[in-house]
Amino acid sequence: MSIFLIFIPQQKKQLLDHKKETILQLTDSALSLLSELDSRIQKGEISPEQARNQAIHQIRNLRFGPEGKDYFWINDMHPFMVMHPYRRDLEGRDLTLFQDPAGNYPFMAMVETVLANKSGYVNYYWQWKDLPEKVVPKTSYVKGFPPWGWIRGTGIYMQAIDQEIKLIRQKFLQLLG
């Protein structure tokens, strides 16, 4: 019984902490791409428009995760959607009044988080990867890129963590059974 009352909740917290650290590191790695392109602007090698277009193209095609469907997006500080690989319908749109099914304003929360702390985590409801009909809780890490006024981010789906915990719980039940 103590396994289910103590160990499983600890495992869930550790798994969530690990996933949050992973998305932080992944988002920071996307920063290096933006920094490199901004450096090329400063050297006069490319125009700001060329740099932004290259960044959008490269980040749009970045994928990770077991299915290769996890992704990054970019919005600006207004917030307008700059790029989203699965929600191209939002690109160029003002997301100030965009609400998730729970009534949260996720893109305004992202801007507020970046303004207050330069980066951080935001909780909201969003479509499951490339499936717009499946909306689930998500935690995203967002970080500002001040030279361009951009926010880039990626997230983890709480349902994926719950599935991993369910598998751990099942393995314990098999061991005990």
Per mean pLDDT, which range of 42-46, 83-87, 173-177 is the poorest?
173-177
**Does residue 55 carry a pLDDT above 80?**
yes
Residue 157: pLDDT band by 50, 70, 90 thresholds?
very high
Q: Is 150 left (phi over 0), alpha (psi -120 to 50) or beta?
A: beta
pLDDT at 8: 74
H or E stretch covering 175: helix 158-176
Instruction: Give mean pLDDT, residues 140-158.
Output: 97
Report whether 139 contacts 155 (CB < 8 A): yes
Max intra-chain CA distance, the chain: 68
SS3 21: helix
pLDDT at 120: 98
pLDDT digits (tens, 9 = 90+) for 68-92: 999 999 999 999 999 999 999 999 9
pTM of the model: 0.89
Partnered with residue 21 across adjacent β-strands are none
pLDDT at 124: 98
pLDDT digits (tens, 9 = 90+) for 93-102: 999 999 999 9
